[in-house]
Amino acid sequence: MAEEPVKYGDVFIVSGQVANKPILPEDAAAMEAGERKVMGQSPLFGPASIMQSAASINVHSGHCSPTSNPVSEGVDVTETDIDGIRVITETVHNEVVGQYIEPSVTEANETSAAEQTQIQERESVTIGEALEAVALSAGDHAVDKADAAAIEAAEKRALGTDTLPRGSLAEEAYSAAAWNAQTLRYEFRTTMDDILRDASDKLAHDRPVTHEDAKEILEAEARNDPANAITAGGVGEMMSAAASLNIPKP
């Protein structure tokens, strides 16, 4: 029997009491039900899939019963529409464990074929919008050097230049990362929400995210992280999700 059960902190970037909470079968089942209700499916390797694997390990190791509690509390899947962008957030006791962004399809389904091109243009996710999505998905995350590098890469791709103006998002991000590195108390650190809220308005130029953008931004983020990792729900992850939605128009 394993000494410790698999906890949320072992497989997700979460904090507080949630990090030390064992993953139970009913939690995994509730997350899968929420995904299917909101998204119509349970994504492969999504939070529910990860939770099911962890819960299975906990059951087989004897740390919990397959039917320890028929009702799960604190597991939630919600969707929010922000300027035509559908943001789906998966949480466990208010800690984000997964996030997806996609264009809202309601209007597209109700319009004629003649209007479809305009709708598709409006629904292309821009670099600025993807940055704003980070403020939602990882808003409480304290900015670090890897985040700043990803923001710099994103801003340069948006502006089409290797030189950024004074007062850029990247400049703010690097200053925040330096401040956070020497600030012990978490509540005094600068977060992603502080930097990326209203990012679209702060960019001198904005355009839809491409796969090449996402690739370069992901590489910049991983390259500047000591563990060669990326922030969950961070800049690289949101750019990758946005790029997958922006299919080139014929």
User: What would you report as the CA-atom Rg of the chain, rounded to the nearest whole angstrom?
Assistant: 20
Question: Is the pLDDT confidence value at 171 over 90?
Answer: yes
pTM equals: 0.55
Q: Residue 212 corresponds to which amino acid?
A: E
Q: Residue 93 corresponds to which amino acid?
A: H
* Mean of pLDDT values over 167-191: 94
Res 108: pLDDT: 40
In this structure, the number of other CB atoms found within 10 A of the CB of residue 115 comes to 12
Res 199: pLDDT: 95
If phi > 0 it is left, if psi is from -120 to 50 it is alpha, else beta; for residue 134 that is: alpha
Res 247: pLDDT: 61
Q: Which of 41-45, 106-110, 167-171, 208-212 has the highest mean pLDDT?
A: 167-171
Question: Is the pLDDT confidence value at 157 over 70?
Answer: yes
Residue extents of the structural domains in the chain: 8-73, 124-245
Res 118: pLDDT: 44
Res 133: pLDDT: 92
What is d(CA 175, CA 159) in angstroms, rounded to the nearest whole number? Answer: 21
Find, among 232, 241, 242, 235, the residue nearest to 96 by Cα.
232
Convert the pLDDT of each residue in 1-34 to its tens digit: 457 888 998 888 888 889 999 999 999 999 999 9
What is d(CA 47, CA 90) in angstroms, rounded to the nearest whole number? Answer: 8
SS3 181: helix
* Mean of pLDDT values over 163-192: 94
Convert the pLDDT of each residue in 70-119 to its tens digit: 556 789 999 887 656 677 889 999 888 887 766 554 444 443 444 444 43
Beta-sheet strand order (sheet of 75-82): 75-82, 85-92, 95-103
Res 60: pLDDT: 83
To the nearest whole percent, how much of the chain has pLDDT over 90?
44
* Residues contacting 87, CB < 8 A, separation 6+: 79, 80, 81, 99, 100, 101, 133, 136, 137
Question: Is the pLDDT confidence value at 188 over 70?
Answer: yes
Contact between 189 and 142 under an 8 Å Cβ cutoff? The reply is yes
Convert the pLDDT of each residue in 106-136 to its tens digit: 444 443 444 444 434 446 889 999 999 999 8
Q: Please, what sign has the CA dihedral across residues 18, 9, 96, 200?
A: positive
Which ranges of 106-209 would DSSP assign to H, the alpha helix?
A: 106-109, 116-123, 127-137, 145-159, 169-181, 192-196, 199-202
Res 154: pLDDT: 97
Convert the pLDDT of each residue in 205-250 to its tens digit: 999 999 899 999 999 998 998 878 888 889 998 998 888 787 654 5
* Mean of pLDDT values over 187-200: 94
Residue 210 sits at the vertex; the CA angle it makes with 227 and 172, to the nearest 5 degrees, is: 55
Helix-strand-coil split of the chain, %, nearest 5: 50, 10, 35
